[in-house]
């Protein structure tokens, strides 16, 4: 398999992340505190798995509503495989799922459409969950504006695919064949999202999104309690979603670094020491994005082994 730039991007980000942790450890002996997370992390991993299960249920629902049928086990592995490259710009690396779903008769454009629809409702869900912690109306309006502009842009191009088609043709004339294909596929994917624009699909996607990300917020609550950080319930519950929005706004792949910094800053605003706040930030990120990446690579390995076994039998 060739993952190309996505692999090197992930490796570079990992080294930068580790370097930042080592630098912080040299200032505050951070690793000594992080080692205390060993007891609570298995519980947080289980909650993350439950969250992935809910997100998969939403994704499976969307594909089924579009007339596509996939096996639950292989479909779940294909879905999880995308997490291997979740720390890529816009999480587009998650589209590696196409590799395993195309042989099952699922069009790449449909996979892309489901991906875009999911991301849109993830943003809405995270915004709603974070709203209870935003006391400053100016900050809330800024966050609301960011999400609204992004969603309206996606909806505009979904309703007006001719713009992207024209861009694709222009790029093709300029011999930018790969970029032309990507823009064309994006247009098709956005068009696919329109079939889910009804009350039932929107309601199901929003409810499942709130449950999935609510589980992640609950995991952060448990982590704070374990670390002895006592904050008001709704404040604790909403800090991680709010930090995720900050990470998304930073445009850094996976929000690596920016999300951790936001969590640390938000906790410090409530009187938590910088060392303890950093431990909480690292702990929840280990249980979410880094655990997701690990699960994604394990799923990739299992799918590749199954693929090789099928080839050897033919």
- pLDDT recorded at residue 1: 44
Q: Which of 7-11, 95-99, 188-192, 200-204 has the highest mean predicted lDDT (pLDDT)?
A: 200-204
- 67 or 87, greater pLDDT: 67
- pLDDT recorded at residue 38: 82
- 174 or 117, greater pLDDT: 117
Non-local CB neighbours of 298 within 8 Å, separated by 6+ positions:
80
Question: Of the candidates 177, 176, 179, 264, which has an alpha carbon nearest to the alpha carbon of residue 227?
Answer: 264
Q: How far is CA 265 from CA 103, 232, 258, in A?
A: 46, 16, 10
Structure tokens at 164: 């992207």
CB 223 within 8 A of CB 283: yes
User: Span 95-121, mean pLDDT?
Assistant: 88
Question: Of the candidates 121, 249, 106, 254, which has an alpha carbon nearest to the alpha carbon of residue 189?
Answer: 106
Rounded CA gap, 208 and 205, in Å? 5
pLDDT at residue 4 is higher than 60: no
User: Span 138-151, mean pLDDT?
Assistant: 80
CB 157 within 8 A of CB 187: yes
CB 279 within 8 A of CB 33: yes
- pLDDT recorded at residue 221: 94
CB 66 within 8 A of CB 195: yes
Q: What is the pTM of this model?
A: 0.84
Say what angle helices 41-65 and 291-313 make with each other, to 10 degrees.
Answer: 60
Q: Is 136 helix (H, G, I), strand (E, B) or coil?
A: coil
- pLDDT recorded at residue 226: 92
pLDDT in tens, 232-266: 888 899 899 988 888 877 777 777 778 888 898 99
pLDDT in tens, 261-307: 889 899 998 898 888 888 899 899 989 998 998 899 899 889 888 77
Rounded CA gap, 221 and 234, in Å? 10
pLDDT in tens, 16-61: 666 665 555 555 555 566 677 888 999 999 999 999 999 999 999 9
- Rg value, the chain, Cα: 20
CB 212 within 8 A of CB 273: no
DSSP-derived letter for residue 198 is S
Mean pLDDT across the chain, nearest whole number? 83
DSSP-derived letter for residue 175 is T
Give DSSP secondary structure letters for 37-93.
GGTTHHHHHHHHHHHHHHHHHHHHHHHHHTT----HHHHHHHHHHGGGG-SSGGGGG
- pLDDT recorded at residue 31: 58
């Amino acid at each position: 398999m060739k993952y190309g730039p996505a692999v090197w991007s992930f490796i570079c980000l990992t080294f930068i992340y580790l370097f930042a942790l080592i630098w912080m450890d040299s200032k505050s002996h951070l690793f000594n505190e992080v080692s205390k997370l060993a007891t609570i992390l298995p519980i947080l991993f289980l909650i993350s798995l439950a969250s992935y299960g809910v997100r998969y249920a939403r994704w499976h629902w969307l594909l089924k509503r579009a007339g596509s049928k996939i096996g639950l086990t292989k479909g779940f592995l294909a879905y999880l495989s995308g997490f291997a490259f979740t720390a890529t710009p816009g999480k587009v690396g998650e589209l590696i799922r196409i590799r395993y779903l195309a042989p099952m008769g699922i069009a790449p454009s449909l996979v892309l459409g489901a991906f875009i629809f999911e991301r849109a409702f993830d943003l809405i869900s995270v915004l709603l969950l974070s709203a209870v912690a935003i006391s400053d109306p100016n900050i809330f309006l800024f966050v609301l504006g960011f999400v609204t502009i992004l969603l309206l842009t996606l909806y505009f191009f979904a309703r007006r695919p001719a713009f992207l088609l024209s861009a694709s043709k222009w790029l093709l004339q300029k011999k930018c064949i790969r970029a032309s294909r990507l823009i064309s596929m994006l247009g098709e994917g956005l068009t696919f999202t329109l079939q889910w624009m009804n009350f039932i699909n929107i309601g199901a996607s929003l409810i499942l999104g709130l449950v999935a990300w609510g589980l992640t917020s609950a995991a952060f609550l448990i982590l704070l309690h374990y670390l002895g950080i006592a904050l008001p319930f709704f404040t604790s519950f909403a800090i991680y979603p709010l930090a995720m929005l900050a990470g998304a706004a930073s445009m850094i792949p996976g929000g690596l670094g920016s999300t951790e910094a936001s969590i640390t800053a938000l906790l410090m605003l409530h009187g938590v020491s910088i060392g303890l706040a950093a431990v909480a930030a690292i702990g929840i990120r280990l249980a979410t994005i880094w655990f997701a990446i690990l699960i994604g690579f394990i799923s990739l390995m299992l799918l590749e082994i199954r693929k090789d076994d099928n080839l050897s039998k033919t």
